[in-house]
Structure 1
Amino acid sequence: MNRTIYLSDLTHTTITISNDSFPLNVGMVGAYCKQFYPDLNMKLFKYPEKLISKINQNMPDLLGLSNYPWNHNLNISIARHVKSINKNVVIVFGGPYISYDNNQQEIFMTRYEGLVDFYCMFEGETSFKSLLDNAHQASFDISQMKKAQLEGCLFLSEDGSLAPFTPITRSRSVDDYPSPYTAGLFDEFFDGKLSPMLETHRGCPYACTFCHEGHEFYRKVSKFDNQRIKNDLDYIGERVGSKVANLMIADPNFGQFKSDIEFAEHINEVYDRYNYPSTIFASSAKNNQDNLLNISKILKNTAMPLWMSVQSMTE
């Protein structure tokens, strides 16, 4: 039996598109899981109206919602709508809008008991794949799924307490996770409204207390193969069209490595071919001014603002 799964990174669309990036998060998760479950009926969503319409036409076995401060209430509303129709649908949240503190996690899961069945922590590809394996073994029965040890997932035990957390191990190579672009998962999002997003490396060496990636889990920095990200940018350039000017880079420290200079040179080549991108949104490196200056000179046709992060001291 082929199961149906919807993965979403929703944005408010009432007045404007409040978060206009491609759904890179769920795209990466989906592309990874498709390797192991090629017959999975999986669809990605960015716009809530499209997700609601699809839910009303064909209820999924599992719904994944990427959770951030700007779309949390939207996610809860969608979860409530789904559960009001079919309480047996497995609803999985993921993303940074949850505390690392166990007590706060239990408060969150208790508050949304019956709406949020599981919360995938840290690297979503690995934790969601673990949950998906378990879901297939348990025939997508929520109570049966909770009887197993789920790596990297939060959930409530039968007695209503937070189940003991089973840590996950970070992948040795981020290239284990295939590109959602060249896999064709993002083709429908080239709609002239959304800005493509790329990730060239993952992890951050710093431990800023205000940042989600300040956790020790993310301390090791892993780089994607340079040819892979060049191929992704070529794929984007061929399809993006003239209405979108921006490229979003999801790295916490773009410009930290010499390979970033090489990628900047490729951005220039893509601009010469497709007149894209005109602007880049990226969190720039905190401790490599020389690289950033070189990149700013290379990107002569593309504007990239440089950002500063300030953390107060206790003394």
Structure 2
Amino acid sequence: MGMDGDRTISLESYGLSRRNALKATASGAALGSTFALAVQPVQAQTMITTPTDGLTAGEVKVKTSDGKEMVAYRAMPASGTGFGTILVVQEIFGVHAHIADMCRRFAKAGYYAIAPELYFRQGDPKGYTEIPKLISEVVAKVPDAQVMGDLDSTVAFAKGEGKADTAKLGITGFCWGGRITWLYDAHNPAVKAGVAWYGRVVGDATPLTPKHPIDIAKTLNGPVLGLYGGADTGIPNDTVDKMRAALKDGNAAAKKSEIVTYPDTPHAFNADYRPSYRKEQAEDGWKRALAWFKANGVT
């Protein structure tokens, strides 16, 4: 069994298995240039690679509030300024090639997109071959408060570069990052909108994860679009239905939020490098995400 955040789910809900682990090491590779060993081999026949032509893209270093340096992958149009800003939040596997590609996709759409490596204090996910070990040794040790602060620092970095308009701030995240998307939307009053891809919405309160999306659903700052799979074995449909109900009882941003559930669709359906990828649903989700950000002032 593995887990996302604080609750256990099967490895199959990630579209992965221990047999898929490589024995080599990915440590030392540039951020966003490779994949964690735990997700190897990748599904090269479906993997999308967005070129960098017309973009400024690559690794940057973000100074955090405690004076540390956090590596991030950043992409934006090569010319112009005042771009809407999208925080892109990683899966449990860190900022790998797919997450970097999502940044480039947003940049091609005219955004400044940045994905910080939010585990950097706890460890490097790239070298792990076993998902349960990655989760217990790295992911489970990452406090929500730390993540919120590091995302705040990422916004400050984007503003400081002088190209992004952080008054037009959006956030999106996948799996582990989908849960963080809901939380950060409620944390930062500057967030105009969020798009949460198959992020867990319920969970047990712990010192590191004191609240979950269901707990903050009524107090969002910007409306959130949730994209979920109806056949996700790790996120039961009834928990998603509870989140829908909580949103209806919330503030204006909560009431404006929407959750789309794709029938017969697994977890990680946007992960084009994994067997869980579902092309039709992923493409529909991408179109919905762009439209959501545009409709809610992130453009």
Give the alignment's TM-score, normalised by structure 1: 0.36
**Counting strand residues as a fraction of each chain, which structure ranks higher?**
2
Higher relative contact order (CA 8 A, sep 6+): 2
Higher gyration radius (CA): 1
